[in-house]
Structure 1
Amino acid sequence: MNESKSQQIIHCPQCGENKVKGTASAFKSILALGIFTCVTIIGLPIGIILIISAFVMKHSKKRLTFHCQECKHEFKVNTNTYDDYLKAIGQ
């Protein structure tokens, strides 16, 4: 098996597959959009709101939600499993 360690940690409880995607990429996307929006004077308030919402989302329980890419099941993992996952992907 040529799986990465992060793929061995979280599996879908419905189908057992390890092809899952978390919400961590949403944080990076919203943060990048907020920073890009702050470039203009008009976009500054919107950019600040996006940056604040990105950090609120990063520290909320929503970050524990994963989506299976095979069966489209949405599920949550406990905090310890999520911390192990972050260590495995190097964050």
Structure 2
Amino acid sequence: MSLKTLRDAPDEKKEKALNDFLNSQEDKNFPQEVVALYLDCSPWTLARMRCEQNSLPFTKIGRRISYKKRDVLQYEKSRTVTCTAQLV
């Protein structure tokens, strides 16, 4: 099984996807390839995270996975640390 990714896309396409994400309203849904690009991780990392409890919330309709911008930003904020001792 392969997951769509924007990692190998032309820079213009990646920049447009990131700008669309950053300039959108917080209740807008985005596909996992855009979220993976924003979080600088692979779609496989997001797939693994979906199997974990207390992870990034997502919506699944059929085979389509999407994430609300609000949830992505909140998840990113929750993972922000000020000291490496907080990681233990």
Shared fold (TM-score, shorter chain, > 0.5): no
Give the structure with higher Rg (CA): 1
TM-score (norm 2): 0.29
Highest RCO, 1 vs 2 (Cα 8 Å, sep ≥ 6)? 1
